[in-house]
Amino acid sequence: MNEEQTTDYAIKLDIFEGPLDLLLYLIKKNEIDIYNIPVALITEQYLQYLKMIKSLNLDLAGEYLVMAATLIHIKSRMLLPEPEEPEEEEEDPRAELVRQLLEYQAFKEAAANLSQRPILERDVFTRAAFLPEEIEKLPPGEEDLIEVSIFELIEAFHRLVSRIDRKELLEIDLEKMSVTDIINDILERLSNEKNLTFEELLGEGKERWRIIYTFLALLELIKLKMVKAYQTSAFGVIRIFPAVES
């Protein structure tokens, strides 16, 4: 491999989206008819490319190696003599790969077409900024909401649990409510209130089980993307918003 070739490949390193993309590039570069791929040539160039990635100590995704094996397999099948009396019409060993390449090429093109469309907030704009609607329902004075991470929720949970009366901790009581009940309760209250803080969600009852259940319900609702948690600043008050577009 001469130096010119090396740099040629090196420049392309980052832009391949996978083995199919690399194959399409090699086909285009060699001006090959995709329906009649010279497998030996393409396999050789493909393997050269993999070697180069290795020599640069870059991680090689497993998919590239699978494709290398496929290419070598096709190449070997092409070398087999054709049966004199074919029992049934034998498919070209390259057919499956060609089908895959064409399909991938079609979607690559479709992706490029999509990128060229007038994209909202890049090329075209609406009157109102394209913001989640809950931002507009902000309580006065609390702008710039930050989405809350799980860690902040856990911290809020800890703060509340640490406030519980010691005596309360000794209480053993069987389920008074299920997490599902609390979920329904939260959703109902959010539909009336628009947004609530974690403490407001707890209401009067600050028993240990209620805090835990409310926390679990909240995690479940966030996971289901039915509510969103925001705060105005790091360590600020956490507010829960319904994620539902009414």
Partner 1 sequence: MENIKAIIEALILASEVPVVLEKICLVLPEVEKTQIQETLDNLMAEYNERAGGICLQEVAGGFQFRTRPEFGPWIKKLKGTKPASFSHAAMETLAIVAYRQPIVKSEIESIRGVDVGYSLKTLLEKKLVRIIGRKDVPGKPIIYGTTKKFLEVFNLKDLSELPTLRELKELNEPGEMKILEKPDKSAEIIILEEPNETSEELPG
242 bridge partner residues: 227
For the sheet containing 238-242, what is the strand order?
146-147, 227-231, 238-242, 196-197
10 Å CB burial of residue 239 (0-12, 13-18, 19+) is: buried
Task: State which residue, 69 or 170, has the beta carbon closest to partner 1.
Answer: 69
Task: State which residue, 99 or 163, has the beta carbon closest to partner 1.
Answer: 99
Task: State which residue, 212 or 237, has the beta carbon closest to partner 1.
Answer: 212
Residue span binding partner 1 (CB under 8 A) among the ranges 10-18, 72-80, 156-164, 193-201 = 10-18
Residues between 53 and 112 with contacts to partner 1, criterion CB under 8 A: 61, 63, 67, 89, 91-92, 95, 98-100, 102-112
CA distance 20 to 184: 49
* 222-225 CB contacts, 8 Å cutoff, 24+ apart: 222/153
| Phi, then psi, of 230 in degrees rounded to 5 | -130, 155
Quote the DSSP letter at residue 120.
B
Applying CB under 8 A, which of residues 56, 79, 164, 244 lies at the interface with partner 1? Answer: 244
Contacts of 74 (CB under 8 A, 6+ apart): 39, 43, 93, 94, 97
Q: How many residues bind partner 1 (CB under 8 A)?
A: 58
Residues between 158 and 187 with contacts to partner 1, criterion CB under 8 A: 179-180, 183-184, 187
Residue span binding partner 1 (CB under 8 A) among the ranges 18-26, 38-46, 80-88, 151-159 = 18-26
- CA torsion, ordered 55, 56, 62, 68, to nearest 10 deg: -50
Residues between 203 and 232 with contacts to partner 1, criterion CB under 8 A: 220, 224-226
Task: State which residue, 60 or 169, has the beta carbon closest to partner 1.
Answer: 60
Which among 145, 127, 126, 125 is positioned nearest to 135, based on CA atoms? 145
**CB 142, min distance to partner 1, A:** 20
**Interaction site with partner 1 (CB under 8 A):** 15, 17-21, 35-36, 61, 63, 67, 89, 91-92, 95, 98-100, 102-115, 117-128, 130, 133, 136, 179-180, 183-184, 187, 220, 224-226, 243-244
